[in-house]
Amino acid sequence: MRIAVVPGDGIGKEIVPATLPALTLLNDAFGLGITYDVLDWGADRWLADGTGLPDDALDRLRTEYRAVLLGALGDPRIPDMAHGREILLGLRTGLDLYVNHRPLDLAHGTVDLYRENTQGLYSQVGGAVTGRGRVSVALDECVYTRDTVERFVRTCLRRLRAAGRRRVTLVHKANAVPHTGRLWQEVYRAELAHVPELTGSEEYVDAFCYHLVRDASAYEGVLAPNLFGDIISDIGAALMGGLGLARSASFCPESGFALFEPVHGSAPDIAGRGIANPYATAMCLSMLLDHLGHSEAAVLLRDCVLETTHTDAATPDLGGAGTTDGFMSEVTALLTERLKGERPRPKENRP
């Protein structure tokens, strides 16, 4: 039960340390036996010695750790995000974390968005022709193998069935991108036939985004290729109330290894001000606990985080006046009360 903690860049350096006391509290209360190491992967190390993902990183993670909690990556000093690509895409592909689960917690309930996480336009296949100091031709190839699509779709359909879902939608763009589109359609229809509990549908990505904004209640489970899933998750975050609320888990079902990260990025415009919302990171920690088999601790943390959003400890993006540390201090106070079996102390809830 050893995990790696990577605060990363920007607000990641604030939200991750603020969240760790809640892990310590739950670890002690439930006897979880979780230990963690804080790793310095991020912009500062990249700028200091050129290291993004250390040479032995993947081997160490496979042999010594069960999961990674990642804060954020991105720094204006590295405008091309080279270090972020090396670290994040290196972890996704190197550890074969091909399933990305991004729950969208909306007014009608949760939509389970599943994004393929290792191929597509993120395969880093392509190149550029440059001359006279500018790019004249640029190519980025969308690459999908049938094996990857099959195992992704199969895993997601089975997870949706296990979660009691009844409807699933495949998002694609087969009318304009026919080759990978056809592959996804073929695999989806074949795999769906083996899961009769689910009623399947298909939508073009542009139409789907329109319908998601107008009436998200039509959706329960959504499967999407890499780029489409990335875009949809940000739209979902906006519907939830902001990027500070969006959580994600990337995992490999075969190995059991997983990476948990908020969707919001490093937010350099507010970094260092102490007002970043730690909600998504705390909810990622809840997902991590559940992944490790500690469902009771996971539910308790989730409930306390949700309750805190309705108090004055909520951060400004949620309409409160709280700080990053203040939000998590309120969460740990609620956790302490629940663990002692005490009644919640009176609070003045915001409208």
How does pLDDT run across 240-292, given as a tens digit for each residue? 998 889 999 999 999 999 999 999 999 999 999 999 999 999 999 999 999 99
* SS3 label, residue 144: coil
* SS3 label, residue 30: helix
Of 14, 3, 34, nearest to 297 by C-alpha is 34
The pLDDT tens digits of the residues spanning 177-191 come to 999 999 999 999 999
The pLDDT, as a whole number, for residue 129 is 92
Mean of pLDDT over the chain: 94
Average pLDDT (205-227) is: 97
If pLDDT is split at 50, 70 and 90, which confidence band does 342 have? Answer: low
Q: Are 92 and 61 in contact (CB under 8 A)?
A: no
Pairing of strands 109-116, 221-224: parallel
The pLDDT tens digits of the residues spanning 48-62 come to 999 999 999 999 999
Rounded to two decimals, the pTM is 0.90
